[in-house]
Amino acid sequence: MTTSLIDPPTAREPRASRSLLKAAWHSTANIRILLIMTVLLVLIFGITQPIFLTPVNLINAMSAVAVLWFVSIGATFVVISGGIDLSSGAVAAASGVLLAQLVIAGVPSIVAIILAILFGALLAGITNGLLIGYLQLNVFVVTLATMTSITGAISLWTGTQSYYVSDPILSWIAVGSLGPIPVVIAFMVIVWLVLLVLQRRSYFGRAVYAVGGGPLAARLSGIRTTRVTALVYAVAGATAAMGGLVAVGRIGAATPIVDNTLPLQAIAAILLGGSTLAGGAGGLGGTALGVVFIGLLQNGLSISGVPSFWQQVLTGVVLVIAVLGDRLKGRRLRWRPRRERGGSVRASGGDPEGQPDHAGGQGAGDQPESAAASRLSTAHKSPEQSGRETHVAAPL
């Protein structure tokens, strides 16, 4: 009697299922704490406030964070590249004012929307992108100065007056619905999916991770780091303009008032989602979950009767926790031993410029610096150069 050495299909299926579950569990390394916090949040508010888990309330909670959603997913590219953007609220307000003026002037709504989004991309790309990418100025100082300058320019532009807009297309985007699903939520998902493909499936997305992991290594790999930096701020400006579009359509007016807390909330959502201020790690999946967590937190506090001032206090506490988690994560990644290709173990000390090493503990969609830079370096080599050990960087 012979025994088959090949496992029957029924024996292989449980093993494959366990492998898939194990891979899915490891892919949540960067957002595991956030997942646990979100589940606890849903359980607490679901038990104490029966209305919290109703479909109507959940849809309202997601619609309420639409502006934060658009600002956050664009700013994720900035944070992954090792930067920060404090001017997104001002860019959103400026784009909203331009949109309102175009519509009032008789420009078709679709054309006005496209022009407003392009305006936001150019405004952020030219100011932040050029000053940071080409002149190598400090990201915090530049974006803070941009926020202040644009805020003052909006007041001079509008004379501190609001522009009231009554446009059916804008209203439909902001408060309309496609059956049971609000249009704004569908808009949020579509933009998120487009940027997710850009992040994971494009040369630009890999270049952003490489620049954030180590600008010097990325430059030596042939990546035009200054151009990538300018483009990430342009992407952030475009999505901030989308947020301004939603705000104008929702209230029916464009105001010169700039919400300067919006960039801070976006940074909190991004850091909660697994990105690090050092750059080179994170992704849009974690950012989306971070925005959802903030939206559910604010909604739960509102229906619980917590005053708005306390909501602001708790949101600030969440931001501090996010930054603290980012600092602890950076220390863990810097000192945790990791195996190299040959099997030896060494302490991960970061790149030569003092950036922490993000090769360990990456979640789904994260690109370590060495892997991203090496792939991009190979892509730049010609067949004759593929066998050589040296690589000449492309000019800036």
Task: Give per-residue pLDDT as tens, 106-117.
Answer: 999 999 999 999
Q: What are the DSSP calls for 168-229, one per residue?
A: HHHHHHHH-EETTEEHHHHHHHHHHHHHHHHHHHSHHHHHHHHHHH-HHHHHHTT--HHHHH
Residue 261 to residue 335: CA distance in whole angstroms: 34
**DSSP code of residue 337:** E
Q: Is the pLDDT of residue 330 over 70?
A: no
348 band by pLDDT with thresholds 50, 70 and 90: very low
Counting Cβ atoms within 10 Å, is residue 169 exposed (0-12), middle (13-18) or buried (19+)?
A: middle
Assign 233 to helix, strand or coil.
helix
Residue with tokens 């609000």: 182
Assign 390 to helix, strand or coil.
coil
Q: Where are the beta strands (DSSP E) in the chain?
A: 163-164, 177-178, 181-182, 253-254, 337-339, 345-347
pLDDT computed for residue 339 by the predictor: 43
Q: Are 30 and 363 in contact (CB under 8 A)?
A: yes
Q: Is the pLDDT of residue 316 over 90?
A: no
CA 185 distance to own-chain centroid: 17
Q: Are 41 and 298 in contact (CB under 8 A)?
A: no
Q: Is the pLDDT of residue 314 over 70?
A: yes
Task: Give per-residue pLDDT as tens, 91-135.
Answer: 999 999 999 999 999 999 999 999 999 999 999 999 998 899 888
What phi and psi, each to the nearest 5 degrees, are found at residue 164?
-90, 135
Domain spans in the chain, listed from the N-terminal domain onward: 32-335+364-375
**Among 74, 55, 230, 19, which Cα is nearest to 137's?**
230
Query: What CATH topology corresponds to 32-335+364-375?
Result: ABC transporter involved in vitamin B12 uptake, BtuC (1.10.3470)
Task: Give per-residue pLDDT as tens, 51-62.
Answer: 999 999 999 999
Residue 95 to residue 125: CA distance in whole angstroms: 14
189 band by pLDDT with thresholds 50, 70 and 90: very high
